[in-house]
Each structure stands twice: as C-alpha cells, then as structure tokens.
Structure 1
C-alpha cells in the first residue's frame, strides 16, 4: 500500500514562495499556494504559470493555488511562510485559526521585526503559540530565478527538533535542490537577515563605481559583524560559515538577481530611498530590517559598523560620500 502524499500550503505567490512551492512539488509533495490576487491563483490553476513573477516557466500539475487561507491550510502537513517580515504578525494572526495541530511551520523570511527585535520564528511562536519544535527555518544561497530554472542550489533547514528538520529536508529534496539540516535556528535567521543589509552596502559600492576589492572588503567584514551578533545571541559560529551564512551572503551580494544588491546599486547611482523602492518593486528586507538589526547589536554590545552606516544612510542622516568615508576612516585595528 502506497503512503499518502504530504501536503504543503505556501503563503505567498511571490518569487521565493513560488520557487519553494515548485521545489516541494518536484520533491513529491502536493502544494497549494495562497495568493492574494485572484488572477495569480487562476493563472496557476489554469495555465500552470505564475504570470506575475515567472510567466515563462511551467509549474508542476501537483501545484495549485487559492485565495482562501482556510482552503490552503486544510490538511496541510507544512505551512511555508514567504511574506514580508514586517507584515508577518498581522497576517499570521488572521491565518492562525486554520493551522492544524501537527502542522510544521517553515519560515523563509529573512528580516527582523521593527520595534520588537524578534526574528520570524519568535514572532510565529508569539502569534500562534506553536511549539518551537514545530517551527523550521529554510535559508541559504537561493536566488529564485535560478532555482525556477532547475539550476543547482542548496540550503539549510534548521529546527530545534531534528526529526522535524529531517522531515522538511525530505519534503524539499530534489535533484537540483539539496537541503542540509541544523538545529541552529538563531544562526540561520540572523545570517539571512544581516546579509541583506550587507548586500545593500555592496550594491551601493557598485553603483558608486567602486571595484571588486571594495565588494570583497564589505562581504568579508560583513560576515565578521554578522558572526559577532549571531554568536552573542547564542548561535554557533560554524553556521555563519555555512550555507545560511557565508553562502547566502556571497549570493546576495554578488548577483544582479538579488533585490537587496539591486536596491543598493540604485542608491549608489544617486536615487533616493523612495526612488529605489519604486525601481526595485519587490520587498527589500534589508531596508526594513537595518534599524532593527542595529538595535539588536546595541542591546548585545556588538559593534556592527556597516549596519550602522547603512541605517544612517537609509534614514538620510548621512550622504553617500559620508557613508563611504565613515567606513574607510575608522581607526585601524587587528582583524577579528
């Protein structure tokens, strides 16, 4: 007798949510995507394409869509969340009554909540009351467009419950997507959140005409300050040297497909924050999270100069030239 197929509800139908929905469907899971817009859901159901993000890529027939959260969550073994970090609390409160008692919640979000300083997994626990053993994080160097094209990629699935992490791992393991497991939820989430801020800085440097030396400097020193904060908050340093740390940082800082790097490039070319937001068009978590990450750093007495400069620049406290000078004119010190 064959085993019943797993079922996953993916909220939402944006670029990364669609990519993970496709991964899970290709791995043998029945997937239903929750879309805010009826035309997106209808397109997925009738043409097997997400016209808003990937109109050129056909989706598996085991991937369907709905605009009704209750329908999406009915019988779901996994709830995959891919929404802006700053709207998580409000949105999840509306969806929580439909979450099953055994559903594992998988966070794809890479941001820190403004005001509370909470990571996504902490917000999920606070809003739903779900045990931390049922909350996983998936993070790594995962550019959605490449994954949709079936290009090789890997990620880390972190959960305090190793068995739950392995179940999520199996639910998204395909010939082109290789997930590893971890129990370091804190390290994975902070690696994913801070790298967005560093990618903004790399994009700015590129937009200002700086070369690869400047990019390498920002990536390397960005990893150092990410590791300082994460370990101060209880993460394992090895996590930041892995896929959810260095891997994600390199991909996000190096690729023109990265929305955070692209946003930074617009700023470096002279756009205002408002103009860059309009030009980028998608959620850029680094812009929203920089201030919250800096508050965490100060609360834990951690020095994060790149994050501090980026926060000041995004809030228009300093100019581009002042930002570059602030980073280059810091007192010399031992590397660590």
Structure 2
C-alpha cells in the first residue's frame, strides 16, 4: 500500500476539470449545515468560511489527497435545533478538540473505537436527525408555500443528483436574497476572539461532547481512513485524522470558526464528483475564502427555504442512521430526541456493554 506522507511525496496537486467539479462534493455536506447554523445562532459566517477555506488548503497540500473538512454534525445539529446554546456549542467543540488531540497523539483512537458500539453511534445520528426535522418544520411554517416549493425543487434535483439537493436549495435562496437585498460590497471579517460568544461549560455541553465524539470516532476517523484505503490505496491512520481534527478545531473555534472534522461522506462526495488529488481542496478553499467576502447576501436568505434545506440535511443524516436497524439504535435515537442526546448516548453505551457482557451483541449486530 502506498503511504501518502505529504506534499512532495507524490504529485498530489492537480487542477483538472475533475478537481474543480470534485471540490463541490464536499460543499454539499458543509454549506447547508454551516449556513443554517449561522442564520439561527450567533455564529459568524465570514469567520466560519475563512476557517473552512484555510483548512481545506492546509490538508490538501499536506496529504495531496481530497481530504474532507466538515462541521462536527452532532454538535451543529444540536445548536441548530436549540438543544444547546451557542456558548455551550463552543465549549463542547473545544472540549471535543482537546480529547481528539490527546487521543490521536497517544495513538489511542483504536481503543476508543472499541468502547463505542455501532448501534449507539447510529442512535446518536438518528436523534440529531429527529431534532433537525422538528426545527425544519418550525422554520417552514413561516412561509409554507415557499417551503413547499423548496421541497419540490429538492425532490426534482434528487432525481438527477441526490447529493446536490440541499446545494440547489441554497442556490435558490441566494438568488432570492440577491433579488431582495442586492449584492453586498466585499468586506473582510474582523479579527476577534470568540466573536459569536464565549464558551459556556454546562452538563448540556458535556452531553453534546459525548454525542459528537461517538460520531467522530466512527465516521470521521475510522470510516474515513478505510475509505482512503479503498479509493486511493493510501494509508491515512485514524490517529493522524484525530490529531488533525483536534488541531483545526482548537485553532479555529477561538477565532469564530466551528468545531471541524474530517468525514467519509465529504471524501466520498469529492471522489464521486471527480476529485483525485489535493487540488480539489485548494479550489474549494479559494471558493470559501471568496464567499467570506460577500456574506452579507446571506442575511436576506428566506428562513422558510432554510427549513427545506434543513429537512434535506435531516433526511440524509437519518437515512444513514436507519441503515442500522437494531432496536438499540432506534431506542437511543428516540430517547435522545425526546430528552437529552448526551444522556441517551450514555444509556445506550451502558446497554451495549451489557449486551456484550451477556454475549448478545453478536446477534444484535446480525439483526441489522
């Protein structure tokens, strides 16, 4: 197997048409969540886009591969749904970053992975998806006709390109916003410490951290490492990915960025759209940085259409979660949506270890 040790080890930056189109493969999972989060919380979109742009370029150059850079979806979903405040969201992100950095540096991610069962991870994903559905319905009620039009547009686009449905809705919303407010003058985001609000460490923040780490270990580290091996015959260790995620989160969050991770979904999206090298990251990073200059147009984005965007995101996340049909996954998801995602995660984790102790976990795994 070829080991990608960084820029220079192989010709890892190309700028072919496939790299340009491949850049969009990551944005279809990033932009819908980022725009919605910044519209509904004090998060600053210019600062968020700058952070994503910088780290897209950093990891593209570092690995010479189309490495994905995504928001931590569990935490973002909880903040969008109002289950945690923005201050709790920031605190949870910083705490997750510290844990990932330490686990990656210590080479401990493989051991952490074995502690968390797949049904528990899927249950957390389902809980976040259900919370997002509730929020999407609330936003859509502001203008049901526009929300319905958005749903119909998403359905039509899904027939041709399923992954692009949310991106199409964003494009439609931007067009409407430009029609209302015009194109704003380019402005640079101001350098500030915690521009959206200071961290607030609470039990809700701790629960959000636990829920996020459950998803991060499985999807952002283990699954991404395996996908690099499958698609590129490249060895990108899970502990390296954990260290990356901890580093970029701790560097970006204090300056207004979001808790960020890698992800198998973004990597698969880039590959499906034609990306084969880190050139796609450089292209996408440049687009994010350019978008950060004209974020004023997002202020006029119609919230009802944002509800439709959020519905598509919830559907995508929920579909992955429901692929695991175990009763434990469903129980964790429903309990998390109705009560507290962090507590549901802890309860699910205890239940999963009880199944392992009773030698029932293998039959439970075969059931899905």
Q: TM-score, normalised by structure 1?
A: 0.31
Higher share in strand: 1
Higher-RCO chain (CA-CA 8 Å, sequence separation at least 6): 2
Higher share in helix: 2
Q: TM-score, normalised by structure 2?
A: 0.29
